[in-house]
Amino acid sequence: MGGDRAFDDMVAEAAAVSVDGWDFSWLDGRATEERPSWGYARLLAERMARASAALDLDTGGGEVLAGVPLLPPLTVATESWPPNLARATESLRPRGVAVVDAHGERLPFADGVFDLVTSRHPVSTWWEEIARVLRPGGAYFSQQVGPASAGELTEWFLGPRPGPHARDPEAARASAEAAGLRVADLRFQRLRMVFHDVGAVVYFLRKVIWIVPGFTAEEHLTRLRALHERIAADGPFVAHSTRFLIDARKPA
């Protein structure tokens, strides 16, 4: 990994590979990230098994929803990025899940249709619309990216970021309550991320586009080379992700 050829090859490979969907298996052996202790996939499966009508927002390529063993009789997912929309449709249609492109000022569903609305790592949370489509007594259950997630990577490429940071869990609580929902559970964790080579960083930043907005390997080549040299000299680059779990209920 010390020479320029190794650097060029890793960057070129990571810049060319597909980043469609929400599967990170390309990083196996190259990067690791701690998972939140609450186990979102298990909790999601338990809730889906009890629901009669569910909506999964920002489903990505449908990877998380496709892993749920028992889906409600009516299950719908939304996605707005075309490559992910195609992947989600291919993955979820055999399970009887309709995948909808949710562009627009409102969710394309009637009031009070769903008793469960879910989302893992939503781009943003549309609290008023979530409250509208939930049935009385229904719940919004979501794992979200927290404040300054992977902030060490952001600062490596962009320099120190001024606060306050977006995606604050207490701000989410306030927004949920302003939309008429009651927050039954809110948990937060900071989790260790380890990047073993510069190619892993390139792939991650291409896929998780909000860490370094507008990232391309070409435009950040100088900082990538410096990062490659740091990893070669000092070992893996360590950052920290943040996650929060929110369970918000619509009064019965």
For residues 22 and 176, the model is more confident at 176
Kindly state the average pLDDT of the residues 86-104: 93
| pTM for this model (two decimals) | 0.89
- C-alpha dist (Å) from residue 200 to 65, 77, 96, 187, 216: 26, 30, 35, 29, 13
pLDDT tens digits for 113-127?
999 999 999 989 999
Single-letter code of the amino acid located at 73: P
Kindly state the average pLDDT of the residues 175-182: 98
Provide the pLDDT for residue 91. 95
pLDDT tens digits for 150-173?
999 999 999 998 877 778 999 999
Provide the pLDDT for residue 3. 53
**What share of the chain in percent tops pLDDT 90?**
88
Burial, 223: exposed, middle or buried (Cβ in 10 Å; 0-12, 13-18, 19+)? middle
Provide the pLDDT for residue 238. 98
Strands 114-120 and 74-78: unpaired
**What share of the chain in percent tops pLDDT 70?**
99
Distance from first CA to last CA of the chain, Å, rounded? 59
Provide the pLDDT for residue 1. 41
**Cα distance between residue 58 and residue 80, in whole Å:** 7
Please give the residue range of the domain that contains residue 230. 4-249
**Cα distance between residue 230 and residue 199, in whole Å:** 14
Residue 38 sits in a domain of what CATH number? 3.40.50.150
Strands (E), 101-165: 114-120, 134-145
Q: Taking Cα atoms as reference points, which of 170, 178, 150 lies closest to residue 246?
A: 170
Count the domains in the chain. 1
Provide the pLDDT for residue 185. 98
Provide the pLDDT for residue 164. 73
Average pLDDT, the chain: 95
The model's confidence at residue 59, banded by pLDDT at 50, 70 and 90, is very high
Instruction: Kindly tell me if the per-residue pLDDT of 58 is higher than 50.
Output: yes
Look at 86-95, 102-111, 185-194, 239-248 and tell me which has the smallest mean pLDDT. 102-111
Provide the pLDDT for residue 150. 96
